[in-house]
Amino acid sequence: MSGKDIRNVIVIGGGPAGYTAAVYAARALLEPLVIEGVTWGGQLMLTIKVENFPGYPEGVLGPQMMSDLRTQAERAGAEFLTDDVVSVDLSERPFLVSTGERDYRARTLIIATGAYPRELGLDSELALRGKGVSYCTVCDAAFFRNQEVVVVGGGDSAMEDALYLTRFASKVTLVHRRDEFRAEPIMTARAREAEKIELVTSTVIEEVLGVEEGHVTGVRLRDTKTGETSELAATGLFVAIGHEPNTSLFGDRLEHDEIGYLITKPRSTATGVPGVFAAGDVQDPDFRQAVTAAGTGCMAALEAERFLDAEPHEQTAAT
């Protein structure tokens, strides 16, 4: 392998954490390579309007914000590779990062691979995926004009999805397994006030109906308090029940919690492997906000810079 392939910093992931890390690492003249994934941009590409990122009093469209952040990192001097990483070897240094097509070596690694939507785990859900079962409301809502749909979940995503769907659907039933919502009260209040939305609590989805027909025709519900089951006609089911971290690349090589979220040292993005840092949702089961992801991306870049500074013999620029 040529020396050209040895990078000071490789950032894996193209969301707010990865791009912010890239901005800081590039401005530190570390010439970061961002392997951003084929579907770069992260979860904000799937959100509608971001109203809680500081500095945007009118809100900002998620994809616009990601595109701006990417441009900012590019202008700062980051290099981008729009590809997926298929394997990482942390057992030797510089670390080996492979896209399948090509291998790269990294003196430091910033993992910002984010998280992916959780599934209900029903066979019928799997069978009807893309045939009425969706995990991306912004992507698919417009297909359900004047139709009746179901959203499952009780967090902010579910509320936001239900509200967004009212632009298209004739009726939106939001089904939540408990009788209390996890969502911010303001989001729940908005959903409650929306004429087209009905909130159904203490209820789970037992089955998605329509497997034989080849498209969603409804859902079978079970009231968790009475045990009673019922069927609700719908052409779409939007699953908004949270996320799981993208950490399968690392197996048990990096310490993680029971769900798979990477564990970093207190007040740091450092993992247990020196030179490997984790930022954004991949290490954050609690806050999962664009602003916190960006914050930890910044931390990871600064920590990578310090790490390289402490190893001057390692710090020579890519040759």
Q: Can you give the binding site for ligand NAP, defined by CB under 6 A?
A: 52, 118, 120, 152-158, 160, 177-178, 182, 240-242, 288
Q: From the candidates 5, 83, 84, 136, give the one annotated as an active-site residue.
A: 136
Of the pair 109, 241, the CB lying nearest ligand NAP is at 241
Of the pair 13, 154, the CB lying nearest ligand NAP is at 154
CA of 42: how far to CAs of 17, 168, 287, 290, 293, in Å? 9, 25, 16, 10, 11
| Both structure tokens of 139 | 């992507």
Q: From the candidates 68, 89, 123, 139, give the one annotated as an active-site residue.
A: 139
Of the pair 42, 94, the CB lying nearest ligand NAP is at 42
The least CB distance from residue 306 to ligand NAP, in Å, is 30
Alpha helices in the chain (DSSP H): 16-27, 62-76, 123-127, 137-140, 156-165, 185-193, 290-309
Active site includes 298?
A: no
| Both structure tokens of 220 | 């079978």
- Report d(CA 311, CA 107) in Å as an integer: 10
Q: Starting from the edge strand earliest in sequence, which strands make up the sheet with 148-152, in order?
A: 133-134, 236-239, 148-152, 171-175, 197-200
Of the pair 200, 318, the CB lying nearest ligand NAP is at 200
Residue nearest to ligand NAP (CB): 155
- Report d(CA 260, CA 285) in Å as an integer: 10
Q: From the candidates 140, 161, 281, 284, give the one annotated as an active-site residue.
A: 140
Of the pair 17, 97, the CB lying nearest ligand NAP is at 17
The least CB distance from residue 153 to ligand NAP, in Å, is 4
- Report d(CA 28, CA 138) in Å as an integer: 36
Active site includes 136?
A: yes
The least CB distance from residue 235 to ligand NAP, in Å, is 20
- Report d(CA 8, CA 257) in Å as an integer: 28
The least CB distance from residue 236 to ligand NAP, in Å, is 17
The least CB distance from residue 290 to ligand NAP, in Å, is 9
DSSP 231-257: EEE-SEEEE-S-EEE--GGGTTTS-B-
What are the residue numbers of the active site? 136, 139-140
